[in-house]
Amino acid sequence: MSSIQIAEDLLPTSAPSQYHAEDHKTRHRRIVQGLWSFFLLTVIVYLTCQVENLIEEHDEEAPLVNKNFSRRGYFGGPDSRHGNLTGHFGWKFVTYIPSDLEVRWAHDVVPFARTADWSPLVAKYRDAALSVVEQSRGLTTPHQPYNFTVKEVNDQCRRYVADARSMHHKLNNNTHDTTCLDYADIQLNATLFSRFIYEFACLGAPCDPNNLLVNAPALGSQHTSYIEPLFGILRHPLNFITSDYLKYTNRLNKSYILVDKWALHNLGTRWRQKSKRSFLFDVGANTYHGQGGDDSSQHWFFGLGDCMCAPFTESFLWERTERRVEPAPPKTAPSLPLVQLPSVRGAWLVAKPAEPSSGKSDHGDVVTMKIDFDALEIEQQLINTILEDRDVSSRIDELFYEDHVVMAWMTQVWGVSRTSNRTAVDSLQTFRRLREAGIRAHSWV
């Protein structure tokens, strides 16, 4: 019996006449918790099942399997990806270094956590916000990857973006565009921008240096990968520099997010792979084109994947209501299992059949996850699970998460009923912990 079938068996078929409000609330909470556990299990199974088969397939090449190493560190450390890494060299996560701006902001925002007037902060950090925007121009992700002109093309996208969607055809036909190997080596101001440090090392001892490719990086060499600072209202910096939050505009602008193409193509053992399996887990997928374009996550992620020459080979979309799940064009998404998440009002989990998936995720795969379905407690449970379970966190490369917290700028949009008792300070701490675990975590819109 599948996890989805089991979850459906937990759902109430009918309500007895004496079903009181308090009993309903308690029972509903248990049902939602049970469904969420099975949802997480489903995600993990897709990525971890058949690991033993994966090991057996490599036994002839590396009979001495050592599971105590991962692409980010040692088992029991900040990351623990299971798999056969014996003899493999690659890039592993070493540490996350917040920028000076991020550190100063985390300190200065504390007294304002539960206040509506942030004008002193706006005045103090206006120049820094403008500098972040100016210095990252051309390096952050496009607001709409499929809709920009040649002059607006992200420097990391280069000239091949004009027909980016053809990459799916090339990938499926085992061909490769050499321009995809050409990515910008981003250099930014470490005072403003935070950074991840990676080291080229043996991922699973014993490793034979004689097996290194001629063009391989030097053992022990390090690479710095930059990311937008955790700063302001965790949205586009230009939306922060007005103290009148009622004039807050362009709240869906995503062009502040810095996704480093180098990381997508080089972490773990990807540095020597031309074609990569790339997974998208979109929890709160909405429809492909959204409610007018700007709020579409599917459209944006597929465009970004093409822009970075890491098109999604397997995509898994979840939404709270079945009517809002709309498949992306088949040309764009090779496989799309559609699953409905349990909602706050009614705990239902609906699954639609999908194309069979290998279910394997190894050290060369790219895993992107987005979480935003406006069920605050459940969202937080999922984030806590990622933080607490190293086996789960080790499988996520890029994470996009909208944290619904008490904040004057966004309360007007979310509404009081949709706002948790958590503040911007709590959100900053959550994102910092995610990044310190080696996950390139971004605040979503």
pLDDT in tens, 268-322: 888 887 777 888 888 887 766 655 455 567 778 887 887 787 888 877 777 766 5
| pLDDT the model gives residue 363 | 58
| pLDDT the model gives residue 378 | 79
In a domain, 383, yes or no: yes
Residue 382 confidence (pLDDT) above 90: no
Pick from 115-129, 291-305, 394-408, 427-441: least confident = 291-305
**pTM reported for the whole predicted model:** 0.72
Separation CA 408–CA 239 (nearest Å):
12
3-state secondary structure 202-240: ECCCCCCHHHCCCCCCCCCCEEEEEECCCCCCCCCHHHC
For 320-364, the pLDDT digits (tens) are: 665 555 555 554 444 444 444 443 332 222 233 233 344 344 557
In a domain, 16, yes or no: no
Residue 416 confidence (pLDDT) above 70: no
In a domain, 239, yes or no: yes
In a domain, 113, yes or no: yes
| pLDDT the model gives residue 335 | 47
- Determine how β-strand 366-371 pairs with β-strand 278-283: parallel
Range of the domain at 339: 3-10+21-443
For 90-126, the pLDDT digits (tens) are: 999 999 999 999 999 999 999 998 888 888 998 999 9
Is residue 54 very low, low, confident or very high in pLDDT (cuts 50, 70, 90)? very low
Of 441, 429, 299, the C-alpha closest to 368 is: 441
- Average pLDDT, rounded, for the chain: 68
Average pLDDT over residues 147-175: 39
State the total domains in the chain: 1
Residue 18 confidence (pLDDT) above 50: no
In a domain, 281, yes or no: yes
Q: Is 83 exposed, middle or buried (0-12, 13-18, 19+ CB in 10 A)?
A: buried
Paired tokens of 7 = 């979850």
In a domain, 15, yes or no: no
Nearest-10 crossing angle of helices 376-388, 424-436: 30
| pLDDT the model gives residue 442 | 97
Separation CA 278–CA 354 (nearest Å):
17
Average pLDDT over residues 186-196: 92
> In the chain, what percentage of residues exceed pLDDT 90?
21
Average pLDDT over residues 61-90: 45
